Amino acid sequence: MTALSLTLEHLSAAAPVAAVDVTVPSQTLWWLNRATGLVLLVQFTLVVILGVLSTARRLPFKMPAFVTNELHRKLALMTVALLGIHIVTSVLDSYVDIDVWDAVVPFASPYRPIWLGLGTLAVDLLIAALIATAWRRRLSERTWRVVHAFTYVAWGASVLHGLGTGTDARNPAVQIVTAVCVVLVIMAVAARVAGLVTLPQPARITALIGLAVAPVLVTLWAVGGPLAPGWAEKAGTPPPESTATVAVTP
């Protein structure tokens, strides 16, 4: 045996090989999921507003139909595509325990079940509205309008989902974006309701009062909920696993 071989054997016997713990970051999908969620809120808000503009008959201003209709349709398709990325990153991300079933069935996830469930509910309602739009020629006008109105409920559920589930609810920039989205949709829907001459006046007044009170109630809930300390535990968040430990041997 050579001197080199004897030296290596001596070192191996004197110093046993120990496993080396290497911390590997595993938050890429988590960050992507959060980013797509915020962008989705903005896009969904624009889709709702454009939908109001394309159907309203009495507004302070009137946009050309080809602008509102085409932009509404294309932006809706972009929103669906981004929603797919948002769902896929949620399922693939090991940072939280979310599976494919949780993306379809509301309130079934162990991770913040109510608030994640609202997001799933928003997805289901949006899919129902898209199916109704694809089959519009086979549906009556009344049926299509009722199903298409699910988008308003889906938008509201997505706002609560973002506040209740979103890690960035306390971020001032996220709060500003959310507040602007809420105000814009409330204003657009209020203008739409005010212009519904076929709706009895008491019903219109009730709806307008409800639109004015809703953001106040959401704000009060957010201050005492997602924006308050200890929300993660109250919302049902399991202990996070932000890193993975890998044993490396020479």
Task: Give one DSSP letter per residue of 157-224, joined into a string.
Answer: HHHHHHHHH-TTTT-HHHHHHHHHHHHHHHHHHHHHHHT-TTS-HHHHHHHHHHHHHHHHHHHHHHHH
What's the pLDDT tens digit per position in 178-214? 999 999 999 989 988 887 878 888 999 999 999 999 9
Please provide the size of the chain in residues.
250
The region of weakest confidence among 13-22, 45-54, 100-109 is 13-22
State both tokens at 48. 């709702």
Helix (H, G, I), strand (E, B) or coil at 141: helix
> Does residue 10 have a pLDDT over 80?
no
Q: What pLDDT sits at residue 233?
A: 85
What's the pLDDT tens digit per position in 82-128? 999 999 988 888 777 788 888 889 998 888 999 999 999 999 999 88
State both tokens at 33. 């999921």
Q: What pLDDT sits at residue 3?
A: 46
What's the pLDDT tens digit per position in 130-175? 888 888 888 888 888 888 889 999 999 999 999 998 778 899 999 9
Q: What pLDDT sits at residue 138?
A: 86
Q: Say which residue, 31 or 219, is predicted with more confidence.
A: 219
> Does residue 248 have a pLDDT over 80?
no
- End-to-end CA distance of the chain, in Å? 23
> Does residue 247 have a pLDDT over 50?
no
Contact 85, 36 (CB under 8 A): yes
Contact 30, 241 (CB under 8 A): no
